[in-house]
């Protein structure tokens, strides 16, 4: 989401304004903006022919290219497992749109994938379900993981200041390492019959799950 480069301080010029050169700045991709940093402050430079003379640009010590166009960003979370060499992998895709690039950098979101991964793994119940011994043999466990993840997204979605985030795809599969497969490797993307739901589950009914109503002593 963000690419940054440092900027060298500009020397003072007698009776003349300091000015940066375009060659000092990174190339902008389509649908991006330049955000400049001076100390702990982030700012977008004014547009127009005097941009390179502006105080925001001249005094900056770093410039970041922030993509503002909508992007589909994957987040792949390997759940804890009690089965050596085998685990469930939850893959979510989010439509992310930066609406305030300055705010995004102020909160330290340089790579939204990190934030989304932490969100997926922060649900203790999902992690506990993924660690069940029968997780790869009992389809009900997979259904509960998907149902809970979807319900949580509806009730408590990921929040990243300065950005709109929307879940568009959710899949669950089995990943096995080479040792457990006798030297071969079965990746998450090759998992057979991985449950899948798209964009609010489209025309399919979401599997039901009472997110937020589990008893601490209940079965999981």
Mean pLDDT by 10 residues, the chain (220 residues): 82 70 88 92 88 89 94 94 84 97 95 95 94 87 93 95 96 74 44 41 40 36
78/27 same-domain check: no
Please report the pLDDT score of residue 12 as a whole number: 62
114/183 same-domain check: yes
SS3 197: strand
45/13 same-domain check: yes
Q: Is residue 204 part of a domain?
A: no
Please report the pLDDT score of residue 126 as a whole number: 94
Q: Is residue 218 part of a domain?
A: no
Can you list the positions of beta strands (E) in the chain? 2-6, 32-38, 41-44, 62-67, 71-78, 86-98, 163-176, 196-198
Strands lying side by side in the sheet with 196-198: 71-78, 86-98, 163-176, 196-198
166/138 same-domain check: yes
Q: Is residue 154 part of a domain?
A: yes
Answer with the one of 67, 82, 100 that is the final residue of a domain. Answer: 67
Q: Is residue 215 part of a domain?
A: no
57/96 same-domain check: no
Q: Is residue 211 part of a domain?
A: no
Please report the pLDDT score of residue 15 as a whole number: 55
- Residues 115, 95, 131: CA angle, nearest 5 degrees: 50
Count the domains in the chain.
2
164/82 same-domain check: yes
Please report the pLDDT score of residue 145 as a whole number: 94
105/16 same-domain check: no
Spatial distance between the Cα atoms of 171 and 108, rounded to a whole number of angstroms: 28
50/112 same-domain check: no
* Tally of CB atoms within 10 A around 176: 19
Determine the structural domain holding residue 61 and report its residue range: 2-67
138/151 same-domain check: yes
- Token pair belonging to 127: 């992690």
44/137 same-domain check: no
SS3 204: coil
Answer with the one of 33, 67, 101 that is the final residue of a domain. Answer: 67
**Model confidence pLDDT, tens digit, residues 16-33:** 678 888 888 998 888 999
44/86 same-domain check: no
108/54 same-domain check: no
Q: Is residue 139 part of a domain?
A: yes
Q: CA quadruple 30, 118, 84, 173: dihedral positive or negative?
A: negative
Q: Are 153 and 201 in contact (CB under 8 A)?
A: no
Please report the pLDDT score of residue 152 as a whole number: 95
- Token pair belonging to 122: 């922060």
Please report the pLDDT score of residue 28 as a whole number: 87
Q: Are 72 and 170 in contact (CB under 8 A)?
A: no
Please report the pLDDT score of residue 219 as a whole number: 42
Q: Is residue 217 part of a domain?
A: no
Q: Is residue 212 part of a domain?
A: no
Please report the pLDDT score of residue 13 as a whole number: 65
């Amino acid at each position: 989401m963000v690419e940054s480069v440092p900027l060298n301080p500009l020397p003072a010029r007698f009776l003349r304004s300091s000015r940066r050169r375009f060659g000092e700045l990174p190339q902008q991709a389509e649908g991006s903006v330049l955000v400049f940093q001076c100390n702990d402050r982030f700012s977008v430079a004014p547009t127009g022919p005097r941009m390179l003379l502006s105080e925001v640009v001249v005094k900056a010590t770093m410039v970041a290219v922030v993509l503002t166009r909508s992007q589909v960003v994957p987040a792949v979370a390997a759940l804890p497992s009690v089965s050596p060499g085998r685990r469930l992998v939850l893959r979510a895709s989010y439509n992310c749109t930066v609406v305030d690039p300055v705010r995004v950098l102020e909160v330290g979101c340089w790579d939204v994938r990190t934030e989304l991964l932490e969100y997926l793994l922060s649900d203790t119940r999902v992690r506990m379900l993924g660690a069940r011994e029968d997780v790869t043999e009992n389809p009900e466990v997979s259904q509960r993981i998907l149902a809970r993840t979807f319900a949580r997204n509806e009730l408590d979605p990921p929040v990243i200041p300065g950005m709109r985030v929307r879940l568009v795809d959710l899949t669950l599969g089995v990943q096995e390492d080479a040792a457990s497969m006798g030297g071969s490797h079965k990746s998450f993307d090759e998992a057979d019959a991985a449950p899948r739901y798209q964009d609010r589950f489209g025309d399919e009914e979401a599997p039901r799950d009472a997110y937020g109503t589990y008893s601490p002593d209940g079965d999981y």
